[in-house]
Amino acid sequence: MANQKTYQRFDVTRRVEHFLLFVSFSLLGITGLPQKFPTVGISKFTTNLFGGIEAMRVIHHVAAIVLIVLTFYHIIVAIYKLFVKQEPASMAPGPKDVVDGVQSILYNLGLRKEAPRMGRYNFIEKMEYWAMIWGTFIMALTGFMLWNPIFTAKYLPGVIIPAAKMAHGWEAVLAIAAIILWHFYTVHIRSWNWSMIKGHMTQEQMEEEHILELEDMAKGTYKAPSKETVRKRMTIFIPIAVVLTLFTIFIVYAYVGIEASAANTYAPVEENVPVFVPRTPTPLPIAAPTAVPAAATTWEGGFAALFDQKCGSCHGEMGGLSVATYADLLKGGASGPVLVAGDAAASKLVQVMQAGGHPGQFTPEELQSVIDWITAGAPEK
Ligand code: HEC
């Protein structure tokens, strides 16, 4: 096996491209996941490792720009190869890929004797490639919206920003999972495929995964166009490439420079400042209205609204304690009930509120009415 023939699969530029993709993608994942899951221990560790959230965001943005430029470069090269050199569109998906996919499954299940015969890029590689392209497009688009939210909300409804945040975060989780489970499996576990590092592939691997390409090579199916043709096509390609390059520069400028958002126009808030302390000591001219009517005695008669307003933003439908409905509140959180009807002192929610410092903290009056309500058996109606 050691001396078997090898075939050039990726030239140096392709391998460098893949390396930059690997670096930028990994950096985006490493600096992005802690922003999606900020309360997880490893996220805090990673954030500290990068020198805090501000620095981590800068790295995330730099990696994003690298990936965007890389993608445009890739598109320009693709146009060159397909149009000027008229190389076969080996990444284009077709009906044969569906057939290959089905046949592969049947073969792996032992229901078919022969494995499908596949070309330069087999259906697995095509799926990965197009998922990558599509994913990058989604991430670049939603990333732009998150990077420039004020600008975006000028032209689109504001609800697009939280929607973009959702899409960006979960598409990232999907992409990372796909790379770890799928890409690593096909390229490193099923068989070691070095072609993106060394550039070539062994005869055995070629026969197994790209037999049709081998046959095409032997037949010499691809004929490079004549110098004259290349020259003619170049006169069309060069303007396109110039326009795309200028467009890339414009896009990068748009990402980085279009908006001076709150994140960089306001000085970062000092750390360990108590939450919800008014910045000016001046008392408000009127007493802030309490959410619960003084006479409220039931869940439906006021406490539902109070809990929703003060606690609902965190204790919603996301797991753990929820205050969305009466039943949810009675059910309690991960560590059990937080409300003991008739016994305010034993109710964890009262304890948490009395200890103070919890976000959304009830005012003393609100807390007193909650205690009275619980003492009265916490009636629903
Ligand atoms: C800014 C987000 C936020 C707000 C607003 C908030 N909490 Fe919490 N609360 C948390 C987090 C985070 C935890 C810890 C995780 C958990 O137990 O769900 C927690 C835990 C609790 C617990 C302990 C739950 C358990 O299972 O041990 C109680 C009780 C609680 N909160 C009550 C309240 C009440 C009452 C309000 C409204 C006055 C409120 N919280 C508002 C974030 C919030």
Convert the pLDDT of each residue in 138-151 to its tens digit: 999 999 999 998 88
User: In the predicted model, is pLDDT for residue 67 greater than 90?
Assistant: yes
Read off φ and ψ for residue 193, nearest 5 degrees.
Answer: -110, 110
What are 285's two structure tokens?
A: 């001219």
- pLDDT score recorded for residue 282: 59
Residues 313 and 304: their CA atoms lie apart, in Å, by 13
Q: Which of 335, 331, 375 is nearest to 352 (CA)?
A: 335
Q: Which of 165-169, 288-292, 312-316, 355-359 has the lowest mean pLDDT?
A: 288-292
Residue count of the chain, please give it: 381
State the pLDDT confidence band at 365, using cuts at 50, 70 and 90: confident
As a whole number of angstroms, the distance between CA 129 and CA 176 comes to: 14
Predicted local distance difference test score (pLDDT) of residue 191? 78
User: pLDDT tens for residues 323-358?
Assistant: 888 988 888 888 888 999 889 889 999 999 998 888
Cα–chain center distance at 327: 34
How far apart are the C-alpha atoms of 143 and 168, rounded to whole Å?
7
pLDDT of residue 166: 95
5-31 confidence digits (pLDDT tens): 888 889 999 999 999 999 999 999 999
Nearest CA to ligand 1 atom 26: 333
CA distance 46 to 38: 10
Closest residue (by CA) to atom 1 of ligand 1?
359
Ligand 1 nearest-atom number relative to CA 320: 18
Q: What is the pLDDT of residue 265?
A: 60
Residue 258 neighbours by CB under 8 Å, 6+ apart: 148, 151
Residue nearest to atom 2 of ligand 1 (CA): 314
What is the position in ligand 1's atom list of the atom closest to the CA of 353? 35
| Ligand 1 center–CA 251 separation, angstroms | 42
370 CA: nearest ligand 1 atom: 35
pLDDT in tens, 173-217: 999 999 989 888 888 888 788 888 888 888 888 888 888 888 888
Q: Which of 162, 149, 152 is nearest to 263 (CA)?
A: 149
Rounded Cα distance, 361 and 354, in Å: 9
337 lines ligand 1 (CB under 6 A): no
Q: Which of 95-99, 285-289, 323-327, 377-381 has the lowest mean pLDDT?
A: 285-289
Cβ-proximal residues to 303 (8 Å cutoff; 6+ apart), any chain: 292, 296, 370, 373
Between the CA of 213 and the centroid of ligand 1 the distance, in Å, is 60
Cβ atoms of residues 238 and 99 within 8 Å? no
CB count within 10 Å of CB 188 equals 11
Q: Are 18 and 217 in contact (CB under 8 A)?
A: no
Q: What is the largest CA-CA distance in the chain?
A: 93
